[in-house]
Structure 1
């Protein structure tokens, strides 16, 4: 049944006016709403070559960083819905931002359409073992925090960031209290955790893993559906009974609202084909990213679900950046 669906989708795409991008002679612009070098940028660039090959059309990466991804997404929202402009969406642009900002220059539901989830990125809670020598497990941390409310701090890349939301979600789920210390970026936040200025940090596994391996940080739990090969001794949140904390971060692909469904499906299938290539999967795995390739319908539902979840967290923690 799935094979018949894919074949019919590709057949439909082949007859859509303007679908032959190569004949149009215009490149596909892939907007990355964050600076070069980060995980968002990497997830787009890894797909650049295989998508060019599969679609037979040039793919140009366009970094439009700023305002937590809002600048890039507003650029996408203003673009023609012809399949020639796409953007890498993140949990920030299509989850956190609409939850913490009353006004955005784009509407993630009305102005964009989900194409596919590209990759998932496991999250992790880490501590500085020197600052919390009595904490050897997730249960130990919860116990200590309940006995010492407000005496432990956690660092984040800034107010309203994913790390901030993860921290508040943790506090809500465990019934604990910690002091939020916002920084201007992930680098400064992680550096201060390593230096012992702050004890707890919520991060993506890829960023903290080298320091966990070196013993400078201790990982207590990961947000994934099973234990990671890179951290076999670290349990998942779900395993510990906190399934609502077990959702990883993700990166996806969106198009301007109004992009024809057959065009969206053609792009999604090209992405799925690219993600299935061993070389692509290997490059992503090296960055702690795991290929996905979900359907447009599934990804669109995921975006709605993420926004609702983050709005609950923002309401609980009274986070508003307007």
Structure 2
């Protein structure tokens, strides 16, 4: 029996290795769980084009938006683990959705095989022109002295930016009223008009308004200060490391995808992300390349999931099915 088991294991290992040697032999579908035009879609398309050339097969981007990214993520989770259906992982799809929604049809850990992180994008806390605080210290003093008086906008209940705002409140011991919107666009309009005092946002959508002085950047969530905003500190510099996580966009496959295929895809992605033109395109969108190992990306997913669960429980956030 022991000999049969050993022979079977060897046969399976040989089959997996042989399969990986011929992979890919047909086009690969890359599912983006959000609509075209956003940062997630842009990152996917920049990487997909070059990865297709590196792998010798077309990588077709397919947008499957809906339910905060859950529809697209579930499509990846349910696909065959053969390396021909991949997906973009985000903090929304792999952390916030799972923390907020107990009815999520997939498990953000068990349903996927992480391949690599692709890119990171800073987040930012901004204030309206009329808001009296000029920097973080003044803002913190003001909101601590006036609990519940001021509000902050986000892209919606149980969005990544809502989680960031609530993590900020937990980390600083403050109370600021949450004003959810249906997307960052409408929220930004009201911030510009002074209907809300503060906003948590992805930096690219707010950057132009910051540079023209229409809104004020208070702090950024990024590993280091952002080029173009040298005077704006990171949350880590301000003693708030839990608020300092940027948004990220990774690459995942369905669970049980063979290790040899995962390694092939990881190597291809790493090579593509090292190309100067890819780095430049990501930089133009406000992102930076962030290639790492499957284990490292798995750790990132787990970290964000645990953090989101803690915030949801601490703040009593309820999922809104719209």
Aligned twin of 1:317: 315
Aligned twin of 1:104: 104
Using the TM superposition, give the Cα deviation of residue 301 of structure 1 relative to its aligned residue in structure 2, in angstroms. Answer: 1.4
Q: Distance in 1 between matches of 2:110 and 2:103?
A: 14
Alignment counterpart, residue 166 of structure 2, candidates 161, 168, 183? 168
Q: Distance in 1 between matches of 2:211 and 2:113?
A: 40
Using the TM superposition, give the Cα deviation of residue 247 of structure 1 relative to its aligned residue in structure 2, in angstroms. Answer: 1.2
Using the TM superposition, give the Cα deviation of residue 20 of structure 1 relative to its aligned residue in structure 2, in angstroms. Answer: 2.1
Using the TM superposition, give the Cα deviation of residue 19 of structure 1 relative to its aligned residue in structure 2, in angstroms. Answer: 4.7
The question of 1:196 aligning with 2:194 is answered yes
Aligned twin of 1:74: 74
The TM-score normalised by the length of structure 2 is: 0.93
Q: Distance in 2 between matches of 1:258 and 1:118?
A: 21
CA deviation map 1:24-50 (0-9, x unaligned):
3x2100000000000000010001221
CA deviation map 1:271-317 (0-9, x unaligned):
01000000000000001111011100111111111100110011111
Contact 1:223/1:245 (8 A) holds in 2: yes
Aligned twin of 1:47: 47
SS in 1 for 2:17: coil
Using the TM superposition, give the Cα deviation of residue 18 of structure 1 relative to its aligned residue in structure 2, in angstroms. Answer: 5.3
Q: Report the number of matched residues.
A: 307
Aligned twin of 1:92: 92
Contact 1:13/1:265 (8 A) holds in 2: no
SS in 2 for 1:165: helix
- The range that moved more, 251-260 or 13-22, is 13-22
Aligned twin of 1:62: 62
Gaps of 5+ in 2: 1-13
CA deviation map 1:221-271 (0-9, x unaligned):
111222111100101111111112111110101100010011001101100
Aligned twin of 2:11: none
Which aligned pairs between 1:1-322 and structure 2 lie closer than 5 A? 15-17=17-19, 19-22=21-24, 24=25, 26-130=26-130, 132=131, 134-321=132-319
CA deviation map 1:2-26 (0-9, x unaligned):
xxxxxxxxxx99934155245x3x2
Cα RMSD for the two superposed structures: 1.4
Contact 1:193/1:200 (8 A) holds in 2: yes
Using the TM superposition, give the Cα deviation of residue 186 of structure 1 relative to its aligned residue in structure 2, in angstroms. Answer: 1.3
SS in 2 for 1:198: coil
Contact 2:181/2:187 (8 A) holds in 1: yes
The TM-score normalised by the length of structure 1 is: 0.93
Q: Distance in 2 between matches of 1:83 and 1:19?
A: 13
Q: Distance in 2 between matches of 1:234 and 1:146?
A: 21
Contact 1:13/1:263 (8 A) holds in 2: no
Contact 2:219/2:233 (8 A) holds in 1: yes
Q: Distance in 1 between matches of 2:50 and 2:101?
A: 36
SS in 2 for 1:272: helix
Q: Distance in 2 between matches of 1:309 and 1:157?
A: 19
Using the TM superposition, give the Cα deviation of residue 78 of structure 1 relative to its aligned residue in structure 2, in angstroms. Answer: 1.2
Using the TM superposition, give the Cα deviation of residue 320 of structure 1 relative to its aligned residue in structure 2, in angstroms. Answer: 2.3
SS in 2 for 1:315: helix
Q: Distance in 2 between matches of 1:138 and 1:48?
A: 39
Using the TM superposition, give the Cα deviation of residue 207 of structure 1 relative to its aligned residue in structure 2, in angstroms. Answer: 1.1
Aligned twin of 1:3: none
Contact 2:20/2:261 (8 A) holds in 1: no
- After the TM superposition, which segments of 4 or more aligned residues of structure 1 sit over 4 Å from their partners? none
Gaps of 5+ in 1: 1-11
Q: Distance in 2 between matches of 1:156 and 1:222?
A: 15
